[in-house]
Structure 1
Amino acid sequence: MAAPAATAAPSVPPSLSLPPSQFARIQPHAYLLAHLSPPSASNQPSIRANGRAPSQFRVTSANAGSLTHTNGSAVVRIGDTAAVCGVRAELLHTEDIASWSVSQASSSNKRRRLADLGEKPTEEDEDEDPEDDRAHIEDLNLLVPNISLSTGCAPGFIPGAAPSALAQSLSHQILSLLHSTRLVRADDLRVWYQQPNLGPEEPERHNENEQMDVDAEQSATIEDKPREIKAFWVLHIDIMIISLAGNPFDAAWAAVLAALRDTKLPKAWWDVDNETIVCSDSVSDARKLSLRGLPVASSFGVFEADAAAGWRANVIPDATEQTQTGKKGSPERWILADPDGYEEGLIQERACIVVDKQKDGKTTIVKMEKNGGWTVDTEDLRQLVEISAQRWDEMKRILDQC
């Protein structure tokens, strides 16, 4: 008798659910929106896909003095975005500057006008003159930042490619912020020469009155010869993004701050006999830069619940007016601090706030930029300044420890 045939197991219908990784690739906007806008019945807070709160920055670390062949260096890591900065100093002789004689003539005319008014500036006043400070650093290009995105920092960067638009834009932003904040003092980059006071030659002394007249003439001659600038230090600030996972500007600027705080310039002087600049080999003679404050940059991005909000505002004229006036209510949105690479592809409006704090704890807005939209209003900017001030405290603690 034949054995009964085994009954086939009922087939299980395939699951229609997707793992989170695939869902994030297929529907990135819906994936981030599901995290930021959980169901009201779940009582869950608004959390980004990376687990951070909307106003929370990524974990930041810094290490200074990592490169031994530079005058100053630092490595800064913000989440998975890492930047290396090295500062290299080179001498620029004033005799190699084509417009140096013209600028010196302008300074002489200024001192002559002050003398006509009966005012004589001190050396400290001359060194801290804002106009000379700006002219020397900006016009002579004493600060030369350059950003490169290394091969392998992100999938889109291949070897042998020309510098990307992102790298050029970041270099321009770094240079603009260095100039606007006046972070580096021009006097730290000047190499001075003071003519020595050799005193009067020993003439044949006939009487005391004759010798006193000679001393007075010699003193007046020495006072009429001010100090001369013989050279400038040019700081080449090279930044390399070795890992790009969103918000490269904050990481690059933090690396520049840490590297400049670590920079030491050799003691240099003018050798009269050889008519050249001589630098000391002693490390103890090197001096650090006396930077103006600690401007910290904080970047933000706006994520809107309506994925087509930006497209609709450009195509439908009424959408712009409705969003600005708020007659029909603005769409739900979240302002995300320190957006990562995944979030940067989903945001259109960006804001960057650079703040510094004085000794009394007062927060100063150094620079504020906003582009890509109009949803961020005055109240939002006020809150972003407060978040940036808290970020400043955190970054100061990190940079002081590195």
Structure 2
Amino acid sequence: MASTAPSLTLPPSQFARLQPHAYLLAHLSPPASSNQPSIRANGRAPAQFRVTSANTGSLTHTNGSAVVRVGDTTAVCGVRAEILPTDDIASWSVSHTSSRTTNKRQKLANSDSEEQQEEEDPNDKSHIQDLNLLVPNLSLSTGCAPGFIPGAPPSALAQSLSHQILNLLHSTRLVRAEDLRVWYQPPSLGGESLERHNAEEQMDVDDEGTGKEDDGEKAEVKAFWVLYIDVMIVSLAGNPFDAAWAAVLAALRDTKLPKASWDVDNEIVVCSDKVSEARKLALRGLPVASSFGVFEADAAAGWRAVIVPDAEEERLIEEGARKGIQRRWVLADPDGYEEGLSQERACVVVDKKQGKTVIVKMEKNGGWALDGQALKEVVEISARRWEEVKSILEQC
């Protein structure tokens, strides 16, 4: 019986594990004679993002929730709202919470201009940051990947992602402090107002205003809503930040806060159990994060860039361009395989206001490949990504 000769070839999956850099390079730089476009090992174009989907209202015991899937990376976010009375805040003084009269509050509530709202609320940012009204926490200890064991303590990556989300929430001023305040309007006990007070027993002013501005009394902040934003990565296949931030965005858009008022007799905050009286958060814009990785054709480019003078490096790049040889690729939304081969990374957060693209935040680290022209192209790709994410979230 004739024996079969052993195969001397390796399947693509084995070659990808043994020579990951050469495997990805072979896909991105096909032979010129083949006339094939540059394509990644996962079948995507360099500027193409993974298929993204979102679903809101998935968790029943939260004020807002969302599940976002970007490729095989899945993030679940739940927002829980809890009351923080001002009496429990150290060194809290009513004098600096009554910075606006009821007339100003009503004008702010009825204003359609976002710039006017921000100008009339100087304590907006300080209240959220100083009082820690937004508390994000991201967990990777869910068995989402082989390196993250369920029940393990928070990893360095999880803590870093939590800090990134917190910084982005503060820098974008996504949540308005006005939505988190619980106001009380002290009654004016004079003449006609006294009779009205006795008839109603109690007078409250919620965030929507009740038309009781004529008394001229200063409104008091009796409590704040604290939003605990818990994110769990249940499946990790690269680029967890984009998925986590998209889940936070979707969950905050889904968040509803009960109508809260101050009970003078019992000196507590009372929340209405009527769903119809609950209100959504009035978020500022829609900042969308897009992450990128830079893949170098030269596997040693990371340390070579330090040794080779800049002029020599530029000469090699120009020579390769003349010969039609591409030395580096900017890969949008890198997966786990590409993240391990990317020597430089960048994250761009953009928003669109009145049809114009606004760069909210831009970070890059790990190299010198992304110059001004490359960053301009990255911003254009991020602007197109913003349109995709906006369309997905509006369908939730």
Partner of 1:355: 350
Partner of 1:267: 259
Matched residue SS, 2:342: coil
Partner of 1:390: 384
Equivalent residue runs for 1:37-52 within 5 Å: 37-52=29-44
Show CA shifts across 1:99-142 (max 9, x none). Answer: 312xx54567x889xxxxxxx98334697445300110000000
1:295 Cα offset (Å): 0.4
Normalising to structure 1: TM-score of the pair? 0.85
Matched residue SS, 2:330: strand
Partner of 2:284: 292
Partner of 1:372: 366
Partner of 2:330: 335
1:321 Cα offset (Å): 5.3
1:49 Cα offset (Å): 0.3
Normalising to structure 2: TM-score of the pair? 0.86
Partner of 2:223: 231
1:160 Cα offset (Å): 3.4
Matches of 1:111 and 1:145, distance apart in 2: 29
Partner of 1:212: none
1:158 Cα offset (Å): 1.3
| Amino acid across the alignment from 1:297 | A
CA contact (8 A) 1:312 1:319 kept: no
Partner of 2:185: 194
Matches of 2:16 and 2:133, distance apart in 1: 46
| Amino acid across the alignment from 1:371 | N
Show CA shifts across 1:194-249 (max 9, x none). Answer: 0124432899xxxxxxxxxxxxxxxxx953x3000000000000000000000000
Matches of 2:193 and 2:305, distance apart in 1: 86
Unaligned runs of 5+ in 2: 109-115, 195-213, 319-325
| Amino acid across the alignment from 2:162 | S
Confirm or deny that 1:322 pairs with 2:316. no
CA contact (8 A) 1:56 1:337 kept: yes
Matches of 1:50 and 1:202, distance apart in 2: 71
Partner of 1:81: 73
CA contact (8 A) 2:79 2:229 kept: yes
CA contact (8 A) 2:141 2:152 kept: no
1:348 Cα offset (Å): 1.4
CA contact (8 A) 2:295 2:342 kept: yes
CA contact (8 A) 2:242 2:289 kept: yes
| Amino acid across the alignment from 2:161 | L
Comparing 120-129 and 249-258, the one that deviates more: 120-129
* Shift in CA distance, 13/399, structure 1 to aligned 2, threshold 3 Å: same
* Shift in CA distance, 174/47, structure 1 to aligned 2, threshold 3 Å: same
Partner of 2:104: 122
CA contact (8 A) 1:127 1:187 kept: no
Matches of 2:100 and 2:165, distance apart in 1: 34
CA contact (8 A) 2:100 2:219 kept: no
CA contact (8 A) 2:73 2:235 kept: yes
| Amino acid across the alignment from 1:35 | H
Partner of 1:214: none
Matches of 1:329 and 1:88, distance apart in 2: 52
Matches of 2:100 and 2:390, distance apart in 1: 40
Partner of 1:301: 293
CA contact (8 A) 2:174 2:284 kept: yes
Matches of 2:85 and 2:180, distance apart in 1: 12
Larger of the two Rg values belongs to structure: 1
Matched residue SS, 1:322: helix
Question: How many residue pairs get matched?
Answer: 363
| Amino acid across the alignment from 1:401 | Q
Equivalent in 56, 59, 62 of residue 51 of structure 2: 59
Show CA shifts across 1:350-388 (max 9, x none). Answer: 111111111x31111111111111110111111111111
Show CA shifts across 1:16-58 (max 9, x none). Answer: 2110000000000000000000011111110100000000000
| Amino acid across the alignment from 1:122 | K
CA contact (8 A) 1:349 1:371 kept: yes
Confirm or deny that 1:169 pairs with 2:190. no
Report % sequence identity.
Answer: 74
